[in-house]
Structures are given as C-alpha cells and as structure tokens.
C-alpha cells in the first residue's frame, strides 16, 4: 500500500493540492502502520506455539493442573501485550499522534516548560482574516527583501562623485 501511494503521488504531480495532500497523508499513515502490523507476527507466532503446547499439556494432565492454568494466563497476557505494543509504537512513530501526545504530557507534567507553547486557535469567524494577514506578512517580507536587493544593486552601480576641490588643486599644481 505504501509503494502504491508513493507511485500514485509521483504520477499525480499535476493534480490538485488536496489530492496530493491526501496521498501524502496515506503514505505517512501506511509508513507507520506497516511495521506495527509486522510486529503482530512477533506476538502471533509465539502465541500460536504456546496455544498448541498448552492444548497438548491439557490432554496429558487435564485442565485443573496449575501449570496449565499458568500457561493459559501467559497466553492471555501475550494477546493483551500486543495492544500495548501497538499503541506505544504508534505513539512514538506516527508523527501527528506523537506531537499531540507530547503536547498533552507537557500540559500534565510541565517538565520542559520552555518547549511548551500555547497555540492560538482560530474561530470560524476570523480564519479568513488570519490567513490573509499571515499571507500579507509573508509577502511583505519578500517585498522588503526585494527592495533591499534593488537598493544594494543601485548603490553598486552608481559612480562615485568626483571631489571638485581635490581635482581643482590637482589641476592648479600642474598649470
């Protein structure tokens, strides 16, 4: 699925921004999910082997054996531990979820207070105004940079004015 989304993104370079954004989000999600689902094999294979071994022990010793009860509890713990592994893996490797969890923990446990920053949320009323103000601010920075560049170019192109007093003294000495 990741390779499919990657090929689709390359093929649709000239498509709308929303389509490219959706393919990009799909790639990020599948990139995080593939190893997590692959980690499922780490729990399924030993769990299956343990289930087969437990069924053999049940046939041999019966269900009331303490060893069988222990094996059944271990089997249930393996099944439950995958859920914890999956959530922990996604929390650390899926970037949008990691950022959100980090913000939540920063609110609960302000260990690194300097890293925590309150984000201002826009309401539906001022979203457009905020967007265009930010856009205008970006363009004004670009325009200021262009003006500065033009001024430096103009300064470089100007000829240095000749000092008339020095030139007059120079000419008088040779006359």
In tens, the pLDDT along 67-95 reads: 999 998 998 898 888 888 888 888 888 88
Give which of 146, 162, 97, 75 is closest to 67, Cα–Cα: 75
Query: CB of 39 within 8 A of CB of 89?
Result: yes
> Do 2 and 31 form a contact (C-beta atoms < 8 A)?
yes
**Rounded (5°) CA angle 27-32-38:** 120
53-69 pLDDT, tens per residue?
999 999 998 888 889 99
Burial grade of 21 (CB within 10 A; 0-12, 13-18, 19 or more): exposed
Element (H, E) at 162: none
Sequence-ordered strand ranges (E) for the chain: none
Q: What is the mean pLDDT of the chain?
A: 74
Please tell me the distance from the alpha carbon of residue 52 to that of residue 54, in angstroms, as a whole number. 5
Report pLDDT for 107.
83
The pLDDT assigned to 49 comes to 92
pLDDT of residue 34: 78
- Model pLDDT for residues 135-174, shown as the tens digit of each residue: 777 777 656 666 555 555 554 555 555 555 555 555 555 5
Instruction: Report pLDDT for 84.
Output: 86
**In this model, does residue 30 exceed pLDDT 50?**
yes
Q: Which of 28-32, 125-129, 157-161 has the lowest mean pLDDT?
A: 157-161
pLDDT at 56: 92
pLDDT of res. 166: 55
Q: In whole angstroms, give the CA distance from residue 170 to residue 173.
A: 5
Q: Percent of the chain beyond pLDDT 90?
A: 9
């Amino acid at each position: 699925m990741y390779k499919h989304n990657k090929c689709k993104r390359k093929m649709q370079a000239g498509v709308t921004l929303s389509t490219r954004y959706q393919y990009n989000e799909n790639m990020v999600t599948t990139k995080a999910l593939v190893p997590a689902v692959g980690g499922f094999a780490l729990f399924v294979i030993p769990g299956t082997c343990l289930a087969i071994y437990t069924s053999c022990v049940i046939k041999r010793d019966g269900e009331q054996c303490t060893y069988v009860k222990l094996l059944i509890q271990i089997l249930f713990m393996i099944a439950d531990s995958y859920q914890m592994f999956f959530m922990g893996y996604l929390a650390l490797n899926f970037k949008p979820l990691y950022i959100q969890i980090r913000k939540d923990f920063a609110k609960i446990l302000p260990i690194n207070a300097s890293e925590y920053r309150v984000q201002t949320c826009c309401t539906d009323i001022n979203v457009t105004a905020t967007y265009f103000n930010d856009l205008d601010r970006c363009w004004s920075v670009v325009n200021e940079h262009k003006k500065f560049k033009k001024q430096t170019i103009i300064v470089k192109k100007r000829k240095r004015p000749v000092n008339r007093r020095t030139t007059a003294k120079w000419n008088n000495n040779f006359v």
